[in-house]
Chain A
Amino acid sequence: MIQAETANRKRNRQALADRFRTFIDPEYVISDDETLKPYECDGLSVYCEMPMLVVLPETVEQVQKVLQICHAEGIPVVARGAGTGLCAGAMPHPEGVVLSLAKFNRILEIDPLARAARVQPGVRNLAISEAANAHGLYYGPDPSSQIACTIGGNVAENSGGVHCLKYGLTVHNLLGVELLTVEGERLSIGSEGLDSCGADLLALLTGSEGLLGIVTEIRVKLLPKPEVAQVVMAGFDSVQTAGDAVGSIIAEGIIPGGLEMMDSHAIVAAEAYAKAGYPVEAQALLLCEVDGTEEEVHEHIEAVEALFRRLGASSVRTSHSEEERARLWKGRKSAFPAVGRISPDYYCMDGTIPRSQLAHVLTEMERMSQAYGLRVANVFHAGDGNLHPLILFDANVPGELERTEEFGARILELCVEVGGCITGEHGVGVEKIRQMPKQFNDQELAQFHRIKAVFDPEATLNPGKGVPTLRQCQEYRSLDLNIEPNAGAAAQHSGRCNHE
């Protein structure tokens, strides 16, 4: 029976591949298991699935045809950029086609006077800033994967970065997109101006995780590069004081370009890895970067230093050169690999909380950490309340991954309880779909489904991601009622991988 199914599947795959090869370079229609393998997951490799096919079209017309064929045949389509996402949003569908936009890697136009760029979705985030650099401009949002991640993926996830408080998320830095609907119809959303008539569809599409359409071109805003940036690093004896210091900077009327916090576990790991000169005895570390004109930065840096000292910082250090600034940031920027070095595996979470709840959330997390027997290190975009707890685990220890996922789920639920949300910038994808009913009720989820149906009534665009079906929600609830602590509920997700 299973053999017959497999044979059938192979035949379907071959027939579809042949059809695609009539209009796409045959080399860019991937149908053999070995070449398909790298596409089985995105940056969150605990979730994986082999796709039926991967296509890498090179023109909008080819994408259009792929969509038309898949629409007619009811074949799922999963769009993919660089595959750096952290929520399994680009995990393939076993019966579906992965539509890679990797060949759409051209910067079509940089308009320095209008401070805008027209780019294809497969252009890397950092490549935009590099191209704009000659004009003294750059693209604002800088997710930590910016060397590799693509702007198309950024639009799909509404990506952030360390400069969101001042410069916003992806949604604040877009002017328009060219969209193909699931039927392959072309739509222009947004314009070269700052707004358009009617409901804001550009905002709706941003962060829609590939569920509403396929973006084939993007117009982004560019910003003038600040004259100067300086960073103040301060160590504190308690998380509470560091949190208060963040509030005091804001109360002072200063909006820092970046404002990052690390807890003691993260400080120790980062210092061991990057030798940035972090105070390893501190309970919390703040990095406050101020950027702007020379005069403004000078004025604000003095204010921030004074404020940190007044609040009893155990150490304060300010960068006085670009090298020193880079060194101070190096610890923070390498926090993930640093944590990766002290533990066989780590799992990165992405909740957002009101900043006033930070001390409470960290205390609770420490309590859970002991209950689950798993260490957790925290890095925090303190300015905008976006928390990235890194749970340390060993996937080779049976049951530890499941425990990690459950711990992670509890952290996200805690974020919702204190008035925050389950994801600040990584997206829902497959990973957090189980927590969606914690943040949204059935009526709200039903409204999401009605929006989805407007764009994609047969639900073939990235199925199974972003928004749980109401039936799934019922299942989650009954599981929650019957669950034994540490039973590893998350293991019941589909698409869970066995990396053995």
Chain B
Amino acid sequence: MSDISSQLQEQILTAATEKRPLQIVGGGSKTFIGRQVEPGQEILSLDSHSGIVSYHPVELVLTARAGTQLIELEAALAEHNQMLSFEPPKFGGTSTLGGTLACNLSGPGRPWWGSVRDQVLGIKMINGLGEHLRFGGQVMKNVAGYDVSRLQAGALGTLGVITEISLKVLPKPSDSRTLVFECDADEALSMMNRRAAEPKPLSAACWLDGKLYLRLSGAHSAVAATAGYWDGEPLEYADDFWQQLRDHQLPFFTTAGEQPLWRFSVNPTARMPKLDGHWLIDWGGAQRWYLGRAEQGQVDKAEMERLAATAGGQVSLFRGGDRTAEVMHSQPEAMQRLQQRLKQAFDPDGLFNRGRLYSWM
């Protein structure tokens, strides 16, 4: 619960003078994400840069230091019956707000309630020049200047050190229930998309092991009435199911062992790629997890990218596999140049998370 931003600034300035790269670490729960960086890099720890700076429930705005754990935020919000609507995954419990934004991680409700990037209103960050800067604001609408806050989503800390984040939060829905339908993946995709086009309180749609799970959230009367129209088998302990899905604690994830876990972010209506192995569909079809069968050996990344592109999106090697190679979807040369120049605009000496996102960043 302290503000160590001036210490962070000092450490960055020293590193800049000595041209030493820094590895940004929050709660250390997501070290598996991105590429494996060269060993021996100095750690820039935001673990103790934590605490809620302000929280105004009736404004629906919360501001917290980047190292604040999601658990702490959720507890504070729950006191006012509010929530982080992007349902951020907690990999191991120590996950922080800053890391969640840097990795752009959102849970099952994302297509309906927005992603962490969507809910960000403003940030403070330290760039590679050691300057502590503020962008965006603590109000719902702010279009002055470039949107540097949302730009950080997915950058994996390569553009700077996020030190503080202001977020839009939402009331918890007063009721929620989950319906289960037995069907194959193609049927599930069709049903997910058809249901999502109806003006009903759908808030999550996932398919796994021959079962489609649809979550309804909202006013009690609306949830009950929709559950009546849609039929389906009610799921007991539904909250546990969605929690385990978001935190990757379902057996699909926990029993994967050494198998590489691929993440497809694609058109929600795209047909399932013809690929043997184990699939989990989330986000109403827009996010699909794939575990290649171990006996098949290494899956070719270029082939995976081709499948993702056919499905209108991208793929990344989320966990496992060869992490010294590229793990994110490759970028066309023009994009690569643009992103390198953008990196330089924020971090001219290339201090932050060198090589974590792409080998060329």
Contacts and interface: CB of A to CB of B under 8 A. Distances in A.
A and B associate in one complex = yes
Interface centre among A197, A201, A384 (most CB of B within 10 A): A197
Contacts of B135: 444
A165 B168 CA distance: 10
A477 interface: no
A452 B174 CA distance: 45
A205 B139 CA distance: 20
A196 B335 CA distance: 12
A422 B287 CA distance: 37
A440 interface: yes
Interface in A162-195: 164-165, 168-169, 171-172, 181, 185-187, 191-195
A421 B144 contact: yes
A454 B340 CA distance: 9
B345 A454 contact: yes
Contacts of B142: 352, 421, 423-424
Contacts of B174: 253
Interface in A433-489: 436, 439-441, 443-444, 447-448, 450-455, 466-467
Interface stretch (A59-67, A110-118, A264-272, A366-374): A110-118
Contact of A112 (B104, B145, B197, B268): B197
A384 B154 contact: no
Interface in B122-144: 127, 131, 133-135, 137-144
Contacts of A227: 199
A375 interface: no
A157 interface: yes
A322 to B, nearest CB: 16
A16 interface: no
A114 B267 contact: yes
A115 B131 CA distance: 42
B92 interface: no
B232 interface: no
A197 B329 contact: yes
B59 A355 contact: yes
B82 to A, nearest CB: 8
B13 interface: no
A292 B140 contact: no
A199 B286 contact: no
Given A424-B141, A427-B143, A192 B114 contact: no
Nearest to A250: B58
A326 interface: no
Interface stretch (B15-23, B216-224, B294-302): B216-224
Contact of A421 (B137, B193, B332): B137
Interface stretch (A19-27, A95-103, A293-301): A293-301
B201 interface: yes
Interface string B216-250: 00111110111000000000000000000000000
B6 to A, nearest CB: 15
Interface in B314-361: 314, 316, 328-329, 331-332, 334-335, 338-339, 341-342, 344-346, 357-358
B194 interface: yes
A32 interface: no
A172 B118 CA distance: 6
Interface in B88-125: 104, 110-111, 114-115, 117-118
A199 B154 contact: yes
Contacts of A116: 267
A293 B222 CA distance: 6
B339 to A, nearest CB: 6
A439 B342 CA distance: 23
A292 B141 contact: no
Given A193-B313, A250-B60, A356-B58, A169 B146 contact: no
A266 B80 CA distance: 34
Contact of B144 (A199, A254, A432): A432
A164 B143 CA distance: 13
B150 A204 contact: yes
Nearest to A207: B143
B269 interface: yes
Given A251-B57, A299-B220, A385-B139, A113 B193 contact: yes
Nearest to A186: B334
A403 B249 CA distance: 63
Given A196-B265, A199-B155, A168 B118 contact: yes
B176 interface: no
Contacts of A467: 145-146
B137 A194 contact: no
A426 B148 CA distance: 18
Nearest to A208: B146
B159 interface: yes
Contacts of B268: 114, 193
Interface centre among A157, A181, A199 (most CB of B within 10 A): A199
Contacts of A385: 59, 139-141
Contact of B145 (A111, A169, A200, A428): A428
A195 B115 contact: yes
Given A207-B146, A385-B141, A451 B218 contact: no
Interface in A63-78: none
B211 to A, nearest CB: 22
A451 B58 CA distance: 35
Nearest to B286: A194
Contact of A206 (B111, B147, B199): B147
B290 interface: no
Contact of A158 (B143, B158, B269, B345): B143
A356 B265 CA distance: 39
A238 B198 CA distance: 40
A200 B151 contact: yes
Interface in A361-384: 381, 383-384
Given A203-B150, A292-B219, A444-B135, A451 B342 contact: yes
A420 B219 CA distance: 32
A261 to B, nearest CB: 14
Q: Which 7 A-B pairs rank lowest in CB-CB distance, beginning with the nearest?
A: A192-B312, A203-B150, A193-B313, A384-B140, A424-B141, A247-B58, A296-B222
13 contacts: A111-B269, A116-B267, A137-B197, A157-B143, A198-B339, A204-B147, A227-B199, A254-B171, A293-B225, A355-B58, A426-B143, A432-B144, A453-B345
